[in-house]
Structure formats: C-alpha cells, structure tokens
Structure 1
Amino acid sequence: MSAIAPFRTFAATLLLTSVAANAEPTVEYHDHEILHTIGVAPSAANIESDIQTLVDFGTRHTLSETESDTRGIGAARRWIKAEFERISAECGGCLEVYFQSDVISDERRIPDPVDVVSVIAIQRGTTDPGRYVIMSGDIDSRVTDVMDFTSDSPGANDNASGVAGTLEAARVLTKYQFNGSIVYAALAGEEQGLFGGQIMATNALADGWRIVGVLNNDMIGNIEGINGVINNTTARIFAEGTRMLETPQEARLRRFTGGEVDSPSRNLARYIDWIADRYIPNLDTMVIYRLDRFRRGGHHRPFNDLGFPGIRIMETNEHYDRQHQDIRIEDGRAYGDTIDGVDFDYAAKLTGLNASSLASLSWAPSPPTGVTISGAVQPSTTLAWNAVDKTTNPHLKGYKIYWRYTDAPQWQFSRFVGDVTEATLENVVIDNYFFGVASVSKDGYESPVVFPGAAGAFLPDPEAE
C-alpha cells in the first residue's frame, strides 16, 4: 500500500451529479487578461531582425565554420548566447545562460567527431524551480546534400524562425516571474540526427528535471504551401500517442482501460490548442495524432524517447521548394530557404501561442501524480490522486475533473472538486467517457489534464518510488 492510501481513506470524497443527457458540452475556465496581453506581445520586427541576423551567417550547418565571427555555426551560436545574455541583463540577470555540448560522431552524417553545441537559457521558477517547461528551436541549417557544409544555407524558415521565436518569447516572458521554470533552448545538430535534443534530454533525465512539456518550434514562418494554399490563421501541433517507454504490462492494461489518445504529449497538445482558442486572435490549431509529419522527425522526439511530454508546433502548409534545397532557379522556379519566404507576423503569432502556453503552464500548479480510476459495473466513476506538494505549490486551490466522450478530440465537461484527493461522479458511467484530473491555482491557472495510470502520467509518481 502506498503512503498516500491512509490519507485517501480519510480524504473528503465529493459526489457529483451527472450531466443532463441533452446538455451542451461545457468546460468551465478562468479567463486571464494577462495571457491575452502575452499572446499579442511578440514583435514581428524583432523576429524579422533575428532571422536576418541568422541568415547573414551564410550557413549554420553543423559541420560548418566555428572560428569565424561572421560565418558558420560557431558565429551563430555565439550570437544567440550573447542575445540571451543581453535579454538577461535587461531583467536583472533573470536568465542562466550557457552552452551545452557533447562530442558526436555518427557514421551517416557526422563522419568525424564534432562538438555539437546548443545554447540554453533558464528562467528559474520562484516556488518550484525543479519543474520545467521548454521552448526550443533549431540553430542548424542545410541544403540539398545534407553533408554540404560550405554552400550558402540561409535556413530562414527552417529553422531561424524557431530560434527567433524562442528569443522573442524570452524577451516577452522575462518581464514576469513564474512558479515553475521556463527554459529557452536553441538546439544544434538537428539536421544531422537530432543530436542537440538528445544531449539536452539525456542531461535533463540525469539531473532529475521534472519536465511538464517541451514545445519544439520547427518552421513557424511560412504561410504559402506547395499545395497553393496561403493561410496565416492555422497551425499544427504534432503529438505522439502511446509512450515510447510503455512496458508490456502497461500496454496490456491500456488495451482494457484506454489511453491510446491520452498520452501526456496528447494532453499537452490539447492544452495548447485551448490556449490558441482562448488567447491568440485569429488562430486555429490542429492537433495531429502523430509524432511528427509522416516518417519525419524533430527535436521533440529525443524528449519523447526518454518519456518526457513533448510536441511540435509548426505551420500548416509547408513549401517543399523552400526546405533542404540548394539556392537556385530551375525552369523558372525558385528553390531555397530564403528570408523572402517568411511571414514575420505569422511567426510572431505562433510565438505568442508559445509564450501564452509557457506562462499558463508555469503559473499553474504541478500536474497531479498517481491518478487512478475505478467504477467498473457501477453507476458512478471515482478518481483519486496524490496531493500536490504545497511547499512548491503554495498557490494550489484544488483540483478539477475533466471528462469527454471517447470519440471527442477535446475535453467536453469539467467540475472543480476542491482541495481533495478523491472524487466521485455519480451516474457518470465509466464505460462511456474518458477522464482526467488537473491541478488548479487560486487565481485559476490549470495544469494539463492527467489521464489515469501510466498511459497519461506527466510526472513520476513519488509514492510509487
């Protein structure tokens, strides 16, 4: 029996009436004016300037020049670090800025050992600094031949846009203080094999980081698709289904209880989708039930591989003539990832989505752990969970139960149940819905919804260790 069980025995149990059969789906939430402000705060002009600076380094290929101050990956990463340090100086040193690196050799794309160097900036939380949310973009660029490290490779959209968005989010969010920590990461080695993300995820695991979400931004500036569609009002959020580290025993249980579409990454994606609906003007996000684009990858994957929740945010309509291409005109058709293909207002909009999401996640309490559910062959459903540590979450007000029909993409019903660790939904039959629990702060910020069991856990259950 876990140490929390005796507490649960005496914890208040709340009985909740069912939703009327014909009632409209409803989710109660607190609107935060500050998230509206943060959502529109990113500057398109700042993003344009940062993308131009990165483009002007000529190439940022992982194997490119490191000694020059004007060309290559070395100059680019030093400039990014200096820019984070300048942002930190403006907030009184609120960022911890450092290079993170490892020597990588890969027979496919890094034939000789290379120091893969990322730039990390941490804005420490005030009450729960060991809990992290991460926004990332990729430093490196490439042309048609992935091994060509000398040709000009501007990488304006892929992925100077993601790095510029990360820098701009730092400018916006360092004006505030948060309960949890926010990490701004410019990751290296993506095109050669996702190495920057692997290095960071491995270090985070070794250092015991409690990561609630990784928001990987890879191509957030293009609005004109190769399919002819021009659209600046939509974006995609890619999120994996079942966890990479799921055990055979967990998979067998999931077969009978569900959870295929309720991994922490999926519920992180739902959270960000809600932020878009509530706080970002003229933006609709599409949650895609896939790790990434078909048979492709991004820097959130190394975090997913180690069990951390992570998603990819990007444009809806890609233009493949502007990705991984030598700069050229061929049969009257322009190829290459040049800055004229970037819409800076759109990049600022997606940066606002990131910033509002990071703020909400960091102001919210930690997600509950140890969530369980029961109710088989009963007319009611009971959920239980471990109490969130009030030492690191002094702003906790209580918990909210969410539920939805099993074929619904978003949570449809919710009920705040108070500062308890168990609650029962009377006459809500467990077979007909999916359920979850979120922590709620005194001023209404919520954690992501945690689906019961290992399939949905955001953080390890300390009671199970």
Structure 2
Amino acid sequence: MSNLGLKLVNRLIKYGVLASLSFVTLTSFAGESTQQASLHKIAQEISAQRIESDIQTLVGFGTRHTLSETKSDTRGIGAARRWIKKEFEAISAQCGGCLEIIEVKQTISGEKRIPNPVEVVNIIAIQRGSTEPNRMVMMSGDIDSRVSDVMDFTSDAPGANDNASGVAGVIEAARVLSKYTFNGSVVYAALSGEEQGLFGGKILTEYAQKNNWQVHGVLNNDMIGNITGINGVTDNTTARIFSEGTRVVETKEQARTRRFTGGEVDSASRNLARYIDTIADKYIENLDTMLVYRLDRFARGGHHRPFNDAGFAAVRIMETNEHYDRQHQDLRTENGIVYGDTIDGVDFDYAAKLTSLNAVSLASMAWAPAPPKEVKISGAVRASTTLSWQPSEDKNIAGYKIYWRYTSEPQWQYSQWVDNVSEFTLKNVVIDNYYFGVASVNKQGVESPVVFPGDVGSFDHNIK
C-alpha cells in the first residue's frame, strides 16, 4: 500500500470511521476524476530548487524592513517589491496574461512603529476564476524583515525564513497553479508592514471589503522553512495550522445562540483548518498537520489576523518547531551561539512540502463549489436530525455531504452523501450527541470546506 493509503487508513482507524465513508470517498483512488488526479500532480510540481533561488534573491536585498530604502534597485524593501512584481509578470506572461497584478497600498503614519509617513505596498496577483471570479481563496506571505530593534531599518536583516520562505512559497504556488483553470479565483499576496503592526494585511482586508470579495479562505504562510527548533527537535514531517474559534465580530445575540447550540470550535476558520488537514492526509506525502486551536502562537500575531478581525476565514500555516535564535535577531555570535535569520537555517525541501500543501488546498477550494450558505439545523427532542441550506445555482454541483462527529472529537468522523437537494434528515442520529456540518461537492468529486450550521460556522463574513 502507498504512503498515502497508509496515512488514510491509519486516520480512519484512529477515528473509527472506516465503515462509514461515502461511496465518493471510497472510490477516489480506484477511479479518480481529472481534477482529483490534478491535485496529486500539483503536489508534485512544486520545486524546492525554485523556492531556494527565490529565497536567495530576497535575502540578497540586504534588508526588507518596512522603513528601509525604496529607491535602490539592489537593497531595501522597494527593490524587493519590484522584483516580486516582475516575477508575477513573468508568470502571467507564461499563462497568456492569466494574472491581474496590482499594488494595494496606503500611506501609514503616526503609529508606534511607523511614526513618520511610509507607503506600505502589497504586491497582489489575482488569477480570476472562470465562473465565479469574485469568489476568492488566498495564499499570503510577508515581504518585510527585521532585526532585534524593530525600528532598525538600516542593518542587514536577511529574513530568510521569516519570511522570505513564505513569499517564495506564494510565488512558487503561482507558477504551478497558473497552469490550471479554476472556477473560483486564487489570490497570491505578498504583504508588507507585518513586523510594524500587520498593516499590509489590514490594507488588503479593507480592499477586499471595498471590492466585495467573497473570501472563503486565507492561508497565511509565516515561516515555512525551519525544521530544527530551539527545543532541539529536528522534524520535517509535521506542520502547524493555527485557527481562531468563534469570530471576534460575533454579536451578543449570536453568542447567546451559540451558548445553546454549540460551535465554539467550528468557526469557518476552524473548518478551513480541518479542510487543509484533510488535504495533507490525502495529497501530501510524509506530512502530518497539527491543528492548533488558537488564533496564533501564544500572545503573538500574524497577517491572517486582520482578515479574522473582519470576519473572514483565515489561518496561519507554519513550521512546527521554531528556532528563536533565528527570529528577530541582529546578525552576531555570542557565547558560541550564532544568531540571525540566515539562509543556512532554511530547509528548502520542507518549504516546498508546505508550499505543496497550500497549492493543493487552494486548487481544491477553487475547483470545488462555494461552501453551502445559510446552513440550518433542527432536531431538538426528536430521534432524527435535519439539516437544510440555501439552494445553489451553481451547475457544477453534483450534491452535498453531511458530516458529523462527537462533540469532543477534533475531526469529522461520519459522513453521508446526499444528492443535489437543499434539505436532508439523518434518521436516528440524535442532535444532542454530535456536531454537524455540510460540504458542497462538484461533479468531479472535489469538496468545499464543511460549514457548521448557523452564523457561527458561515463562510459569509458579512453575517450580522
């Protein structure tokens, strides 16, 4: 049996669901659709060599501090931004102009870490979907770097892992995915201003809201290249996915409803994380993802947070074992310890593996139908549970899958395939004992993330 098959069987045994899988899932290897086969191909097309080259180029700009040089062609964040834009332009030329490349920017001043006016510029490439161009999934990485003093914009700050690795992953994902056509749009985002206060993410979030983007998933990649941690562990087979629980924009009425119906661990962001975890099991060899039920690392932050603040589904994907001597440090050697985020601390095969996880997740979501809308549930004091959702006009939908699990379980345990209907009753499945959700499935068997019933689980960020 293949490594992929062993991972799948082990997971099924772990959750006790081997006998409960639907026909669609059980037949995926016996007769894969074109899109399912392409997801395996995408995972293999990501190049560690190209990622290494891109990280080396970004490191070569000396510093990419948000307040650094912008006029030079060889040093500073301005040179880095222009190079990233040229890379996107070259990728677009290869696919016949399939990328819309824009600068989303704003002048920031009067802030603790940006006291004087500075133009914060994000370089964005949009690969528009063929049928739903305003439905977006996004991969992001941070351009800027820093040393020990967050206001030091002149010293060398190579930022090889934090976060040239994330930006290189974004560029490489664009190279591979631009060869395909998707129903929904894919956004490749190189963001600025992260170290100075998450400003690039805030600016892009505002742009997305202004342009009515239906953002159904933001995959923020911040440090995806380190495999040896400060804890002495070396591991290239795991990664972490951080996801926030209930939305920070939740109203008092929504919180009251949630108190009686559950959903504290079933926000859209949390089910996006579960979706990516499932992608890892199905398509990425020798990678197990850890679902971390927290917005970010303890008392720390990242560029997915501004999207969460606006109600979007957004997660952080990163290495499992961080090495703090290689983060936010002046380049130096003290007491025999080497400090600094240099390129020799990056494992390019590992960065490629995590980039593959992103690329396959983006492709799967962009091919799949949109997550079901207005999912509702009923079944109190009854022997059965009924779920309903808004009928979709998407002609690519073949049907839906209803998922459920014990409330204490981290992943979905049971599933039931249903046809292209808008309501289904699970007979003799008591609502009190499980959490439930619904996913859309296209005619090639590719699924959307699961949607938990009610406002708490909706992928519509405008839920009020």
Instruction: Judge same fold: TM > 0.5, yes or no.
Output: yes
Q: Which amino acid aligns with 1:62?
A: T
The structure 2 residue matched to 1:26, chosen from 20, 28, 40, is 20
The answer as to whether partners of 1:380 and 1:426 remain within 8 angstroms in 2 is yes
Measured in 1, the distance between the counterparts of 2:52 and 2:461 equals 40
The structure 1 residue matched to 2:352, chosen from 348, 351, 374, is 348
Report the equivalent of 2:401: 400
Q: Is 1:449 matched with 2:434?
A: no
The structure 2 residue matched to 1:359, chosen from 360, 363, 380, is 363
Shift in Å, 1:107: 2.8
The structure 2 residue matched to 1:53, chosen from 42, 48, 57, is 57
The structure 2 residue matched to 1:333, chosen from 325, 333, 337, is 337
CA spacing shift, 1:105–1:27, aligned 2, 3 Å: farther
Report the equivalent of 2:438: 437
Shift in Å, 1:25: 6.2
The answer as to whether partners of 1:25 and 1:413 remain within 8 angstroms in 2 is no
Measured in 1, the distance between the counterparts of 2:17 and 2:147 equals 55
The structure 2 residue matched to 1:103, chosen from 89, 103, 107, is 107
The answer as to whether partners of 2:403 and 2:438 remain within 8 angstroms in 1 is yes
Measured in 2, the distance between the counterparts of 1:341 and 1:24 equals 41
Q: How does 1:189-338 map to 2 (within 5 A)?
A: 189-338=193-342
Aligned residue for 1:111, secondary structure, equals coil
Shift in Å, 1:388: 1.8
Of 238-247 and 23-32, deviating more is: 23-32
Q: Is 1:90 matched with 2:94?
A: yes
Shift in Å, 1:419: 0.7
Of 452-461 and 281-290, deviating more is: 452-461
Measured in 1, the distance between the counterparts of 2:461 and 2:72 equals 45
Aligned residue for 1:184, secondary structure, equals strand
Q: Which amino acid aligns with 1:331?
A: N
Report the equivalent of 1:144: 148
Shift in Å, 1:23: 6.8
Measured in 1, the distance between the counterparts of 2:391 and 2:272 equals 21
Q: How does 1:61-80 map to 2 (within 5 A)?
A: 61-80=65-84
The answer as to whether partners of 1:95 and 1:121 remain within 8 angstroms in 2 is yes
Aligned residue for 2:115, secondary structure, equals strand
The answer as to whether partners of 2:17 and 2:414 remain within 8 angstroms in 1 is no
Measured in 2, the distance between the counterparts of 1:327 and 1:216 equals 26
Measured in 1, the distance between the counterparts of 2:368 and 2:71 equals 43
Measured in 2, the distance between the counterparts of 1:48 and 1:417 equals 45
Shift in Å, 1:141: 0.1
Q: Which amino acid aligns with 1:61?
A: H
Aligned residue for 1:110, secondary structure, equals coil
Aligned residue for 2:45, secondary structure, equals coil
Aligned residue for 1:416, secondary structure, equals strand
Shift in Å, 1:460: 5.8
Measured in 2, the distance between the counterparts of 1:106 and 1:262 equals 38
Measured in 1, the distance between the counterparts of 2:393 and 2:348 equals 41
Cα distance per residue 1:204-258 (max 9 Å; x no partner): 0111100110000000000000000000000000000000110000001101100
Report the equivalent of 2:423: 422
Measured in 2, the distance between the counterparts of 1:388 and 1:330 equals 62
Ranges of 4+ aligned residues in structure 1 off by more than 6 Å = none
Aligned residue for 2:109, secondary structure, equals strand
Shift in Å, 1:106: 3.8
Measured in 2, the distance between the counterparts of 1:27 and 1:215 equals 28
Q: Relative CO higher for 1 or 2, CA cutoff 8 Å, sep ≥ 6?
A: 1
Measured in 2, the distance between the counterparts of 1:23 and 1:309 equals 27
The answer as to whether partners of 1:366 and 1:388 remain within 8 angstroms in 2 is no
Report the equivalent of 1:122: 126
Shift in Å, 1:99: 1.2
Measured in 2, the distance between the counterparts of 1:61 and 1:46 equals 24
Report the equivalent of 2:45: 41
The answer as to whether partners of 2:313 and 2:459 remain within 8 angstroms in 1 is yes
The answer as to whether partners of 1:367 and 1:388 remain within 8 angstroms in 2 is no
Measured in 2, the distance between the counterparts of 1:460 and 1:368 equals 13
Measured in 1, the distance between the counterparts of 2:315 and 2:43 equals 19
Measured in 2, the distance between the counterparts of 1:324 and 1:379 equals 57
Measured in 2, the distance between the counterparts of 1:442 and 1:24 equals 24
The structure 1 residue matched to 2:390, chosen from 386, 390, 401, is 386
Q: Which amino acid aligns with 1:396?
A: I
Computed over aligned residues only, the root mean square deviation of the Cα atoms, in angstroms, reads 1.2
Aligned residue for 2:78, secondary structure, equals helix
The answer as to whether partners of 2:388 and 2:422 remain within 8 angstroms in 1 is yes
The answer as to whether partners of 1:143 and 1:153 remain within 8 angstroms in 2 is yes
Report the equivalent of 2:376: 372
The answer as to whether partners of 1:57 and 1:71 remain within 8 angstroms in 2 is yes
Identity %: 70
Q: Which amino acid aligns with 1:90?
A: Q
Shift in Å, 1:40: 1.9
Q: Which amino acid aligns with 2:208?
A: A
Measured in 1, the distance between the counterparts of 2:90 and 2:110 equals 35
Measured in 2, the distance between the counterparts of 1:430 and 1:98 equals 47
Shift in Å, 1:27: 3.5
The answer as to whether partners of 1:189 and 1:196 remain within 8 angstroms in 2 is yes
The structure 1 residue matched to 2:188, chosen from 174, 184, 189, is 184
Measured in 1, the distance between the counterparts of 2:345 and 2:107 equals 34
Shift in Å, 1:459: 1.8
Q: Which amino acid aligns with 2:282?
A: R
Measured in 1, the distance between the counterparts of 2:461 and 2:375 equals 11
Q: Which amino acid aligns with 2:384?
A: S
TM-score by length of 1: 0.93
Report the equivalent of 2:3: none
